[in-house]
Amino acid sequence: MDHTIFLIDMQTFYASVEKMDFPGFRSKPLIVAGDPKQRSGIVLAACPIAKQFGVLTAEPLGQALNKCPQAIVRLPRMQHYINMSAAVTRFLQHYTHLVEPYSIDEQFMDVTSSLNLFGDPLTLAQKIQQDMQRRFGIYVRIGIGPNKALAKMACDHFSKKNQTGISLLNKRNMEKKLWALPIGALFGVGQRMEQHFIGMGIRKIGHLARFPVDLLRKRWGVNGELLWQTAHGLDASPVSPNTFIDQKAIGHHLTLPYDYTDQQAIRVILLELSEEVAARARSERYMGSVVSIGVSGPFEQHNGFHRQITLPYATNFGLDIYHAVHRLFNESWNRQPIRAAAVTLSDLQKSTETFQLDLFARIEEKARLSAAVDRIHCKYGRTALFRGASLLPASQLRVRAGKIGGHFR
């Protein structure tokens, strides 16, 4: 049976929420941006009025204000946005129980079984648009397709650019509409893969669709064949409300307030990130055996690295993660300035499951210690108890304690 999938995209979500909460801002240009005193002073969202002045997402706040000096600037309230996104999910479940959050401002819906109640796909899409505007004050664009990949591309490349905010992409119009787009517009193609394809003469999605799949499979394995299938509008992944119940990885990323060049200072950051990852893993009852580090330099240098290592046992203890991260960093750092760092724990398993004990890992001792620290943090906050290294000037512990995802709560 053919499915009907919607991709719901909430236009300038953060800015829309701010305007809903503060009606006096509705007719004014509004920007949501990080703290200009930190490296996070970039535009996270700009309302359509601000965009008319040329304000762009991800540009420095100072640059945006030069274009639109009269703009109202709001610091992000990440916990509030998360709560609003969850409220939208619950609201969309009035139309179908198959709602899958894709990001904080995007949601997939499988409305196949709902069409008997609400009419054809276009009628239902228009109803959702109107109801979302009335309930939340948020304008949504909707991509429609027989699967998630086509619905996503319908929204990104067509719904966002037409007056109705609704677009359909399917097998009948795919060759005319989708195949004419540049190869970088294909869902799943990043910048590096785009350059590989262009080097092979594959400049448009249609070129990839006509390319021999066996050659793609030979060069890139399963991923090459998967992209070829996507170019043909094939995607078997279902809309699953449980997508985020079983996590694949737990990680934290930090953009530093200035370029770090001192090794001791960088170690402080890696330790704090490792402790954050471990605490979150414990709170969600996960352990992991693969530890990864990602480091990037200043924008203009485009340097950095990503490394990972497999531990002999699964863990959710901060020092275990840090020792692995520290080793990877020492082996890979070229002494160039660091502007951002990330630590990730993957190959996860539930901590309640049976796992291999390591004679020298002192797992029970570390578990008791970590549980005591977690209880203190839960009751008094993360700044109530921390390692001595976080007293050093390089520490970002106090700054991050009041934030979610690197932004203000």
What DSSP letter does each residue of 336-378 carry, written as one string?
--EEEEEEEEEEEEETTS-----TTS-HHHHHHHHHHHHHHHH
Query: How does residue 253 score in pLDDT terms, banded at 50, 70 and 90?
Result: confident
Tens of pLDDT, residues 124-176: 999 999 999 999 999 999 999 999 999 999 999 999 999 999 999 999 999 99
> pLDDT at position 367, please?
74
Q: Which residues participate in the annotated binding site? A: 9, 105
Tens of pLDDT, residues 344-359: 998 888 876 444 544 4
Question: 147, 82, 155, 110: which is closest to 405 by C-alpha?
Answer: 82
Q: Would residue 365 show up in a list of annotated catalytic residues for this protein?
A: no
Q: What is the CA radius of gyration of the chain?
A: 23
> What is each CA distance from 191 to 187, 213, 257, in whole angstroms?
12, 21, 27
The answer to whether residue 199 scores a pLDDT higher than 50 is yes
Distance CA 318, CA 252 (A): 13
Residue 190, class by beta-carbon neighbours within 10 Å (0-12 exposed, 13-18 middle, 19+ buried)?
Answer: exposed
> Rounded mean pLDDT of the chain?
87
Distance CA 100, CA 113 (A): 16
Neighbours of 222 (CB within 10 A): 8
Distance CA 41, CA 36 (A): 4
Distance CA 15, CA 47 (A): 6
Least confident range from 165-179, 273-287, 346-360, 371-385: namely 346-360
Single out the catalytic residue among 18, 59, 100, 106. Answer: 106
Could you give phi then psi for residue 165, rounded to 5 degrees?
75, 15
> pLDDT at position 360, please?
47
Query: How does residue 177 score in pLDDT terms, banded at 50, 70 and 90?
Result: very high
State percent of the chain over pLDDT 90: 57
Q: Which residues participate in the annotated binding site for Mg(2+)? A: 9, 105
| Amino acid making up residue 146 | P
Q: Sketch out the chain's domains with CATH numbers.
A: 1-170 (3.30.70.270), 175-231 (1.10.150.20), 249-408 (3.30.1490.100)
> pLDDT at position 361, please?
52
